Amino acid sequence: MNIQKIQKWQKILEDQIVEMTDILERRFIFQETKKMVEVNPDIQQSNIFYDYFRINYIYAQIIQLSRMLDQDPRTESLINLLDDIENNSDVFERKWRDEILKLVATPNTLQTFGNSLEEKTLNPDVITEDKCKLLCQFAPIKKYRDREIAHKQARGQKPNMIFEKLDQFIDFTHERILVYICFLHGSGYPGGGLMPVIQYDWQEIFRKSWIKD
C-alpha cells in the first residue's frame, strides 16, 4: 500500500464522476423533453423522431454504464476500482487516514473521513456487496446490450429494456459513487449529488420555429 496507489484511485474515481455526470444530465434532458411532449397535445402523435430520440437515449446510457462496469483488467472502470480497493484492504486502517488527508484540501476533511471510518461505512465486506449488487442489477441491462446493441439476436424472444430498471440502476450507481467520493476525497456533494446545474435556458431552442417555410 502506498500513496501513489491512493492517488491512482482518486484519478480513476474522477473519471467515473465525469461518466456519471454525463449519465445524469442526459437523463434529465430526456425526462424534461418527455414532459414537454406530455403537456402539449399538438405534438402528441406517433413520429419517427420520438423513436429516434428514445432509442438513442437508451443506447447512449447503456454504453456509458457499460464502460463503468467493464471488468476487463486493462480498463479503468468503477468495478475495477472497487476490485483494487477490496484487494488492498489495509486502506481501511486508521493509519491511512492521514495519508489520504494529505491529498485533499478541504479543511473539515479530518472529521468527515474520521467519521466515515468509525461508522464503518466502507470496509471490504461492503465493497464486496456493492460489486455484487452492481453486477447483478446490471445483468439484464447487459443482456439487452449484448442482444440488441452489440449483436442482433436472430432467434428467441426479443429482450425489452424497461426505463424503470434503467433508472433504478442509475440511481443506485450514483448513490454508491457518492460514498466512495466521501471516502477517497473526504468530502461530498450537496443536494442533487453529481447532477450538474445547467447555466443557461437549454429549452429556449424549443420556443423557436425549426422549419422555415
User: Would you say residue 134 lies in a domain?
Assistant: yes
Q: Are 193 and 176 in contact (CB under 8 A)?
A: no
User: Would you say residue 212 lies in a domain?
Assistant: no
Kindly give the interhelix angle for 124-144 and 78-86, rounded to the nearest 10 degrees.
150
Q: Are 96 and 1 in contact (CB under 8 A)?
A: yes
pLDDT at 84: 93
Q: Are 173 and 130 in contact (CB under 8 A)?
A: no
Tens of pLDDT, residue by residue over 92-148, are 766 666 666 666 545 454 454 445 444 445 788 889 999 999 999 999 999 888 887
pLDDT at 22: 97
H-only helix segments in 39-75:
48-68
User: Would you say residue 92 lies in a domain?
Assistant: yes
pLDDT at 118: 44
pLDDT at 120: 45
User: Would you say residue 34 lies in a domain?
Assistant: yes
What residues in the chain have per-residue pLDDT under 50? 105, 107, 109-110, 112-114, 116-120
User: Would you say residue 60 lies in a domain?
Assistant: yes
* Residue whose cell numbers read 406517433: 46
**pTM for the complete prediction?**
0.84
Overall domain count for the chain? 1
- Domain range enclosing 145: 3-190
